[in-house]
Every structure is written in C-alpha cells, then in structure tokens.
Amino acid sequence: MRLASRWLSVGVGAALLALAGGVSPASAQCAPATPCAGPLINLGVLGLQPGYGGQYVGWSSAYGVSADGSVVVGVSTIDSDHEGGGYHAFRWVGGTMTGLGTLGGSYSEARAVSADGSVVVGTSYRGDDEYGSDRHAFRWVGGTMTGLGTLGGSYSEAHAVSADGSVVVGWASIIDSQKAHAFRWTQGGGMVGLGTLGGNYSAAYGVNADGSVVVGSTTTETDITEAFRWTQATGMVGLGTLGGNYSAAYGVNADGSVVVGSSYLGPGDGSDRHAFRWTQGGGMVSLGTLGGYYSEAYAVSANGAVVVGQSVTSDYIQHAFRWTQATGMANLHTLLAAAGVDMTGIYLNRATGVSTDGQFIVGTGHGFPEAGGYDRAYLVRYDDGAGGGETPIAGVTSSGSVQDSVNNLSNAHAQTMIHQHGFAGPLLGGDKPMGLGSEAGMFASAGSFSGGGHARYASANGVTLLGGIAYARENYATAELKSSVIGAIAMQYVADLGTWWRPFAEAGGWLTANADMTFERSYANGAGIATGIGDTSGDLSYFYGRAGVVFAQSPSSQFVLSGEIGRERLKTSAYAEPDGPQNPFPAVISGGTDRMNVAKIRLQASHSFDQRFDGTLSGAWAHGFDRRTDLTATVLAFGTVRPDMVRNYDWFEYGARLGYKLTEAMTLDVFANGVSGEDGIGTKIHAGAGLRVRF
C-alpha cells in the first residue's frame, strides 16, 4: 500500500541520488533526537531514525497549505531507535512542526488543511499492520485526531477538506474488500459513498471551498479510469481524458469551475501522461510538460489561475512546476532563480499545495546538506504580479533563518542603545578635566555626523551643572539613526577635603526624543540572503548615578576613577517592512520598549603639557545586563516570532582630546571618541573639533 511503502521508496531514492553523485546518505551529521533544521527551504522533521553508516536521518513531505500560507501539513519521520520506525502527520505553524499522532498505529499522514489552518485531514493506521489494511481517514481539530470510519470495509483515506473544515472527501473500502468508493463526509451525515461510473472503484481527491463540488477518479463500465466532478445536483460526471484510457482529478478551485489533474494521451502504461486543466467551457486541456514524458497537476489557486504539480524534464529528472496562462508550465526552480533567489544545490521535486492567492507553494525537495539525500518539506513564495511591479517576488526560507533574523533585529536595537553613549559622553564633560570653572562651547564631528553645544556651570560650593544638546546621524551594521536630537543634563558634586584626592558623586541622564530610525534583518533566501528594511521613530533615554575619586598630585595632572550604574530604554513605534523582490517574507514589527541596566567602570587622565596645550584620555568598560524587550515580528507565512535569546552585552567606551588655548578664555579642541563591542555591536568612532569659552 502507498503508506506502507513510503519508507522503502525514500530509502531507494536516497541510494539512487548517492549513486548519481548527489549527497551521500552517510553525510548527515545529526545526533539522535536532534531535528535537522536546515538553513534553506527546509521545514524540518519531527524526528530522526537510524540510516546508512550509523547516521541519524529524517525526511518530510508537505501536501497542504492554509489560505494565507501560514500553516503547512504533511508527513515526517519521528524519533526512533530502529530504521523505518514510523512517521506521523505534522502541522507546521509559526516555524514549529508539531506531530499530530495516530489512531493507534505507527503511521499517519496529513493531506489537507482548512483555510484557517485549524482543521487537518489525512490517514492513520489504527494498528501495526504493515500493509495498512486497517487504516482510517481522520479529522484533526484542537489537538484531537478522530477517525471517520469506512463505508463498511476495513480502510479509508481522507485527501481534501472544505475551506471551513466541515466537509471531508476521500475514498473508503466497502463490504467487498476489492471495492472502494469515493466518499463525502459531514458532521451531520457522516461518511456517504459517491458511487462510481459503472466500475468497482472511485476515489475523491479534491473538494471546493464550500464543499459542494468533489473531484477525483473512477473506473467506468468500459473498464477505463476517468476523472470525475460530483455535485449534489448532477451526481458523478466523467470529465473524459486527453485521449488515453486514464485520467484523474486531484484539485479544484474555490467555486468548483476549474479542475486539475493528469491524463494519459493514449493507451498504454502512462509513458505519455500530461497534467490537465479542465473548465466547463473549454473541457480538458493539456498543460504540457517540462520537456519530458510526464506531468501531473495537484493543486490550483482559488481563482483557478495558478496550477502547481510535478513534471519530468528531458533528462528524466522530476521537478515542481507552476503554471499560469501567461507563462505556461514553468520549472519552479527556474522561476525562483530568475527572480534572484540563489537556488544552488536545491531541487524541488514536486509541488503539492498552493495557497488561496497562488503565492505560497508547498511540496517536497532535496539538496539540504544535513539531510543525507533525504527529502524535506518546503514552503516557497512566488508571485509574478505582486505589488504591480514587473519583477516577481520570490523566496524560499526556513523557520530557523526567520528566527535568526528576529534575534538579529533585537541585537540591532541593543546596538543602537549602546552606541548612543558615544554621542552623550562629550555633552557631559566626559573628555575634559573635572573641577574646571564655568564654560560653554560648540563642536562638530564626522565619522558619524553630529554637531551641537555644551555648557558647564561651576558654583563655589563644589556643585557643577553639566548639560548639552546635539543633532546626530549614525549608521550601524543593521541599524541607522537617521535624524535625532540628543539632550543631556547632570549634576556633579566634588568634595574638597583639602587633600590630593577628592571624592565625587554625579547623577544625570540624556534623552533622544522622536528620533528617526531604520532597522534591518536578514534571512536565508534559498542559498542566498534577503533583507527586510523598515523605518520607524523612537525615544532613547538613559539615567545614571556615578561616584568616584579625583586624584590630583599636581596642578597639571589629574586622574579620575569612577563606577556608574544606569538604566537605559529604547521605545520604538510599530512599522511594516515593504514587500518586494528583495524582501519576499516581509514582517510587521510591533511597537514596544527595550530596557537594559548598565554598569561601567571608568578611568580618565588629564594633563597640561604647557601653558597652551592640554589633553585628556578616557576609557570605560561597560556591561549591559537584565535586558528585556517587547519586540515581536509578524512575518508573512511564518506568523508571530519573538527573539528566542535576549543577550547581555559588554563593550568599551574610549576617547582622546587635545586642547590648544587661543586666548586665556578660549580653547580649541580636537577629539576622537568611540564605542567597540562584541559581535553585534561593532565599532564606531567619531572625530571632530570644538571651541569653548570660559566665563
């Protein structure tokens, strides 16, 4: 039977691939119970089983997809200690593949899913009969798999479900085990046989959106197999063939007006078998092939315009195809590559499901380095008319890569927070000696552009007020601060104990209000990279307390050692990444707040070289901890994704300034300051000049 033979066929396929120069099954490097989630189009597996050479391998196939492409169903290997130890139906949503269990045996597979992804139908063994004679159609809802029974015999299979999940179709054995009939199941009426066109066998493979039109294949009284279309009013009506003695219908569009499947072109064993598209007005029309002798159409979009399936090329290789009236039958691999997706090493064997709008296609492919030559379920996006542009929007990615992109987006938020310290430091006198008199100045820097002014007011009792304001722009690896105004203020008290060392305390903070920002995230697109970029606005703020000691053994030299603790916050508005060829899986990013505690240890040294020149060197080690984020990204077809790891960070802040007294009251400064950190933070250095006047 088909279910019982799947494991054997997969093993044979892997061996043939290895002999043909493909990936050796022994090359899989996965450990037991560790799913091999690939970086390309791989939806993953439920589990792994022993394969060739003692390695653990797994395979999966996708058959159905929800209306919006966010839920995929199919079948996958499960964890097992013995080869061929079972496979289960799966439901993939939000990047996670979940097994649906069985009706008691070791095997099940999901064939279709309702429009909203909540109802799954398929077939499950009820025991461990390797021939599958005791297998039943099932309907899965809310975590519970329910068998639908039979038409009196021992087995049944479910292959399609209506949009709302209320109608299930398939085929089931009747009392005579040599006969099986197509069925239509409803909650109120149960399983009802649809009969045949005179023969012993019929099977239903597709149903339209409201469950009123059923399609499949049946034997006739003239002993041929013919595609059929059934309605309550007409009963079962044959659709003919393309000239041979066999045809079968596998899919039907939303209103039941377009039927797809395959048919022999002439008598024989199917060596000339073509996919077809049937309409009431045009009848059954061949869709051709990809150059070989064979093609089958498995699914069609809601409006009947997009057909997907499988075809053999002239070199006898099976490939997934996508058909439209404008393009004809096209190799899906070729379409994706032409749209800019790096498809190196990736092969899409077949396309078995398509979303309502025709954009999202699921099926089975191979070419995954970690899969040992075994097939994996895939989800791709291809739309040749999206956005009204001439360039198709196409993409293939994985849940792991999408998750990594959201993790990196979270890191970009942290990067922006950390580098803002480089702008704020000079505004609060971080590059000048402590204990100077009152002064005011202005500055400008390049590397990252900034310009502004700062002031210091020193009272006679040791209290100093510090403040400044500046405009800034800065580019980071995955973020950009496009336009911002930062304001800073602090109060400092230095105790005069009449000694060469003086303790001090300082409290203050800075605020960047309503700044324009850009963030980007990158994810795998085939073997290449796609990037989503979005613009938003937000507020950055930091409040701190600092304490330390000023050491001054001579009037010309000063050292300052201090410790600081602060709290930083980044609040951003929600935004949407533009949809386009460079970003086939765009995301809507939530508004929210990032928070991080910061601890610093700082050392500063200042020295007057003569009556004209003086300089300051500073350095600080900083640690960001207890970081929290509200960030979520709702990614097209993948659902809501949150960062799965919110990191703590370490970085260094450093600076140097050289001053030249133009007059007793006026000093010209040249300076450089920067921030450097671990991966995800990077290095940014600002260099510039300033002029300050004492009063």
DSSP letter string over 538-585?
EEEEEEEEEEEEEEEEETTEEEEEEEEEEEEEEEE--EEPPPBTTBSS
Question: At 14, is the secondary structure helix, strand, or coil?
Answer: helix
pLDDT under 50 in the chain at which residues? 1-40, 387
Q: What is the DSSP letter of 438?
A: -
Distance separating alpha carbons of residues 16 and 172, to the nearest angstrom? 34
Place of tokens 């033979």: 5
pLDDT at 83: 54
Let me know if residue 454 belongs to a domain: yes
CA 256 to CA 280: how far, in whole Å?
A: 10
In a domain, 560, yes or no: yes
Q: Give the CATH number of the domain where residue 453 resides.
A: 2.40.128.130
Q: Is residue 342 part of a domain?
A: no
For residue 283, the model assigns a pLDDT of: 97
Bridge partners of 549, per DSSP, are 503, 561
pLDDT of residue 86: 84
Give residue 386's pLDDT.
56
> Residue holding tokens 């022993």?
50
Helix (H, G, I), strand (E, B) or coil at 629: strand
| Cα–Cα distance measured from residue 450 to residue 425, given in angstroms and rounded to the nearest whole number | 13
What is the reported pLDDT for 479? 94
pTM for the whole structure: 0.85
Tally of domains within the chain: 1
Q: How far is CA 296 from the centre of its chain?
A: 30
In a domain, 347, yes or no: no
Q: Which of 331, 334, 445, 504 is nearest to 689 (CA)?
A: 445
pLDDT at position 389: 57
Whether 237 maps to a domain, the answer reads no
Pair 633, 589: CB distance under 8 Å: yes
Q: How many CB atoms lie within 10 A of CB 19?
A: 9
Query: H helices within 339-381, ranges in order?
Result: none
Question: Could you tell me if residue 406 is inside a domain?
Answer: no
Burial letters for 199-232: b for 16+ Cβ neighbours within 10 Å, e otherwise?
bebbbbbbbbbebbbbbbbbbbeeebbbbbbbee
Which residues in 208-333 belong to E strands, given as ranges?
A: 214-220, 225-231, 235-238, 247-252, 258-264, 273-279, 283-286, 291-300, 307-313, 318-324, 328-331
> Is residue 296 domain-resident?
no
Alpha carbon distance 11, 375 (integer Å): 10
What pLDDT does 33 receive? 32
Cβ–Cβ under 8 Å, residues 628 and 592: no
- DSSP assignment letter at 344: T
- Distance between CA atoms of residues 47 and 56, nearest Å: 9
Residue whose C-alpha is closest to residue 405's, from 526, 518, 532: 532
pLDDT digits (tens, 9 = 90+) for 309-362: 999 999 999 999 999 999 999 999 999 999 999 988 888 999 999 999 999 999
- Residue 292 resides in a domain: no
CA quadruple 388, 390, 391, 394: dihedral sign:
positive
Question: pLDDT at position 238, please?
Answer: 98
Q: How far is CA 148 from CA 1, 3, 184, 191, 400, in A?
A: 20, 18, 11, 7, 35
What's the pLDDT score for residue 130? 54
pLDDT at 52: 64
| pLDDT value, residue 36 | 35
Instruction: Write the Ramachandran bin of 143: left for phi over 0, alpha for psi from -120 to 50, otherwise beta.
Output: left
Q: Which amino acid is at 420?
A: Q
Q: Which domain holds residue 494?
A: 411-694
